[in-house]
Chains A and B, each alone.
Chain A
Amino acid sequence: MATERPLVLPGDVIPPSLIPTSANPNKKQQPLRLGPGLRHIPPSDIVPTVAGQLITVPHKNSMWVEYNSSRYTPTPSDLVIATISRSGPDFYYASLSPYTANATLPHLSFEGATKKTRPQLPPGSLVYARVTLANKHMDPEIECVSSATGKADGLGPLKDGMVFDISLGFARRLLMARSKEEGKVEVLELLGEEGLAFETAVGRNGKVWVSGASDAKGNEGVNAKTVVVVGRALQETDTKRLGVEQQRKLVKKLVREMR
């Protein structure tokens, strides 16, 4: 990762030394890719539009601004947790974030669904879906099956469990490939080490679903406590911005309270 991550404000001038260029003359010159928070004003200006840390990845020739917010704007190929609000003739209408337009989820967009065999999702049920279409002119569209392969790959209805709200930045850290090193999020591993059995799904729209493990035997009470403890741990890590050591302490405290 880049060593320097300056704080930028909207409208700041970015010094050209920070803009990565392909230093390797042998390799093909990759075009510079701008991520969220940056805007290209032709011919050669790059301007931040939000306040945050400017992150550059030289070997991929990309740069973006890392900022935290609570309002999710749908982007294609994002994994999200959607709440079904009602059913239409060909689509379910699912909510990705409060007070925004519903996303449409086709009835047949589930693995192995035909007109006769499709999942019946009552209002309030949760699905783990991928955003297929999102632009400022139309309502977003989501799918629960990969349209290329026809397989679900983990998408689909989420049974039981409970959903917790987290900030978008925390959701991104949880979804990182190496969330322990780079995202500094170790809460889930620590809770697992303490012996709790649970499963989670993280949506980029700021939602995390926690459920007691599917093969857990025993009474409902244990599962509910597990879910609540995991959810509380995640939310506290997020709101109080806990580091790894503090996460360790938090997990120990919560597990002790639970037992």
Chain B
Amino acid sequence: MTTSAPTLAIPGQLLGHASKYQPGPGTHIHESNLYASLLGTIHVTQPAKAPGPVKRLTKITPAPAPAELPTISVTVPTRSAGAEHQQKKREVLPEVGNVVLCRVIRITPRQAVVAILVCGDTVLDAEWQGLIRVQDVRATEKDRVKIYESFRPGDIVRAEVISLGDQANYYLSTARNELGVILATSEAGNAMHPVNWKEYRDPETGLLELRKVAKPY
């Protein structure tokens, strides 16, 4: 338990009580105690002091709100990064509701298997596998969707995470106008331009190919 200059924490080390600190990255709570999850240095960040109401003697003041507790975090020092980078580097994982960019790996009649590349604005270190099921491709006429007319292997798709899924896959959905294929390559090998919500056109051959097209911003 230390709030002085950064010291070393090993996984499982007791850091403090949950009523005194807010857990940050690299820590977890077990039975109201904060423990370190990583091997790294401990940092405590003091919260910004929000201007509160004028203290009244007769008012029962509640326990400090969570925003007023200092946040304790454990960060792993990287070899090349400086001290400032150590504070900012954190592991980004797709969460439910995040809009992600992914590349289609494989299609089957019932689902499209994708590799999640970008979560929000962050390019992920590791590619996570996701599934877009045939009933999550569109919002309307879900039973008449054909995967071959919505995605092809190699397409870049903007999708939304709808579930963290099981051990192997996240579950994604493209059932909104602004979700769908944003970059497609034609059978001839050229990058295509979108024509409408379901067609892409190859500028060189002039042929149309069917995709579930994302509405450009």
Interface of A toward B, CB cutoff 8 Å: 40, 42, 104, 133, 135, 137-139, 141
Contacts and interface: CB of A to CB of B under 8 A. Distances in A.
Contact of B107 (A40, A42, A137, A141): A137
A contact patch SS? strand
Given A42-B204, A42-B205, A104 B109 contact: yes
Contacts of A139: 108
B128 interface: no
Interface in B136-159: 147-148, 152-153
B109 A141 contact: yes
A138 B106 CA distance: 8
A137 B109 contact: no
Contacts of A104: 109
A71 to B, nearest CB: 21
B contact patch SS? loop
B204 A138 contact: no
A205 to B, nearest CB: 20
Contacts of B206: 42
B153 A137 contact: yes
Given A104-B109, A141-B109, A135 B205 contact: no
A133 B204 contact: no
B108 A138 contact: yes
Nearest to A104: B109
20 contacts: A40-B205, A42-B204, A42-B205, A42-B206, A104-B109, A133-B109, A133-B148, A135-B148, A137-B106, A137-B107, A137-B148, A137-B152, A137-B153, A138-B107, A138-B108, A138-B109, A138-B147, A138-B148, A139-B108, A141-B109
Contacts of A133: 109, 148
A56 B204 CA distance: 26
A135 B149 CA distance: 11
Interface in B80-130: 106-109
Given A40-B205, A138-B109, A139-B108, 6 more contacts: A42-B204, A42-B205, A133-B109, A137-B106, A137-B148, A137-B152
Nearest to A139: B108
A173 to B, nearest CB: 30
Interface in B35-67: none
Contacts of A141: 109
A4 to B, nearest CB: 29
Interface in B166-217: 204-206
A77 to B, nearest CB: 16
A44 to B, nearest CB: 12
Nearest to B146: A133
A45 B137 CA distance: 38
